[in-house]
A and B are shown apart, each in its own frame.
Chain A
Amino acid sequence: MALTERGARNPDLPVSAATADDALVEAIVVPNVLWRPEDPAAYGGGALEDDPRLEMRHYDESGEGRRDDARWGGLDIVPTKADYVLDLIRMNSLWPLLSGLACCAIEMMSTATSRHDIDRWGMFPFRASPRQADVLIVAGTLTTKMAEPLVRLWAEMPEPKWCVAMGDCTCSGGRYKRSYSTVQGIDRVLPVDVYVPGCPPRPEGLIYGMMKLQQLVKERRGHWPERAIGPTVPDQV
């Protein structure tokens, strides 16, 4: 069964094994079956599965992040008005974590200050502690040395949480594609909700990305159960 209409029309797209049954959750994320490396020995030949530094891989399978403890509706199937209000609340006060790594951090700070003010959407408090943050805007190049601390920060953030990849370096490795010490896109280690390309993206671009995230939050697409680590190509963005 194809996940999307486009998938139904295109016989060449590989079909995912898991199909979503509940009508509420229309998986707009195609799980990472579209791309495999050509070389079976690549990515350590699967050795990454056992790497203790990549603890997030088992987090998704455990299903811990899928429960929404704040929901007021009784059943998980039928959304109520209260859930709608809950989504509005979350969407309008997304508090980012201060995780500016490199140059994109300057543009993120520029977005937060007077000229392009994201306080208009409730995002001014950049929390220093991951325990109080909702969204992790990874702004700047992620190096392999920093990957462990960043994944720990992500793990320390309480649910619901979202991740925004800001800048080319976090989307795909960017200008450091050939480097020996950068992670080629943070979706190799974290599940990403919104990608904001640019080097660095203009503040208007980041604001567009954050508004997209707000839209995802409101439509409950940002906290999807199918969220997984790996390159994902959403169908309707």
Chain B
Amino acid sequence: MDRAFRALIERTFGDDLTGPVRQRHDETEMRIRPGDVPQVMRTLHDDPRLRFEYLGDLAGVDTGTDFQVVYHLWSVVTPDWLRVVADGIPRDQPRIPSITFLWKGAEWMEREAYDMFGLVFEGNRDLRRIYLPDEFVSFPLRKDFHLPDDASRSPGGGVRPMEDAATPADAAETTVRRTAKAR
């Protein structure tokens, strides 16, 4: 937990942050708007005080109400992992700028997020499905895609891909069951 680093992030990004910088164990988390992703990433990568040249992970998250894209970065400057959360991507328009201009290796991670969630990364030259067959239409990791209890009851019978698995009769009305806020 690097307090000085938190102050550095708050100084550098100021207005771009949509929430407080949180620290827990060895991680520092900052939240930004999806539209700000390219310039924030470029600052993180190029600024000599920050030097986040190592992209650890690019993940998509479905919070039930909207989407998030979460980046994990590492730098020689601080012992913490930096987590950048691009929050509030609407469900009906899941678009976010791509960071393939900085890290070409993010191309496939963005393809995976597209495949699993339907997140469209603008600027990714190769945005197509990577894991599932091309004729699959659903996005499996979304919260409204339910795994059936028994493979035989699905439309594919376990042989064809399980598309649009029917919501089981005993599913709750809300897609996400929460006892406390996950934010």
> Which of the four size classes fits the interface of chain B?
20 to 34
Question: Nearest-CB distance from B164 to chain A (Å)?
Answer: 10
Check B133 against A48 for contact (C-beta < 8 Å). no
Check A147 against B159 for contact (C-beta < 8 Å). yes
> What A residues does B154 contact at CB under 8 A?
180
B153 touches A (CB below 8 Å): yes
How long is the Cα–Cα vector from A23 to B165 in the complex, in angstroms?
Answer: 48
A31 touches B (CB below 8 Å): no
User: Which of B157, B161, B162 touches A188 (beta carbons < 8 Å)?
Assistant: B157
> What B residues does A181 contact at CB under 8 A?
131-132, 140, 161-162
A178 touches B (CB below 8 Å): yes
Of B43-51, B66-74, B78-86, B144-152, the one contacting chain A is B144-152
Count of chain A to chain B residue pairs whose CB atoms are closer than 8 Å in the complex: 59
User: Which of A37, A39, A144, A178 touches B156 (beta carbons < 8 Å)?
Assistant: A144
> Which of the four size classes fits the interface of chain A?
20 to 34
A77 touches B (CB below 8 Å): no
How long is the Cα–Cα vector from A189 to B157 in the complex, in angstroms?
Answer: 11
Check B148 against A178 for contact (C-beta < 8 Å). yes
Residue of A nearest to B163 (CB): A180
Question: Nearest-CB distance from B89 to chain A (Å)?
Answer: 23
A10 touches B (CB below 8 Å): no
User: Which of A54, A144, A179 touches B133 (beta carbons < 8 Å)?
Assistant: A144
Check B151 against A184 for contact (C-beta < 8 Å). yes
How long is the Cα–Cα vector from A68 to B68 in the complex, in angstroms?
Answer: 60
How long is the Cα–Cα vector from A195 to B159 in the complex, in angstroms?
Answer: 19
Residues A51 and B160 in contact in the complex (CB < 8 Å), given A178-B147, A179-B147, A180-B140 = yes
Residue of B nearest to A179 (CB): B147
A157 touches B (CB below 8 Å): no
- The residues of B with any CB-CB pair to A shorter than 8 Å are 131-133, 140, 145, 147-149, 151-162, 165
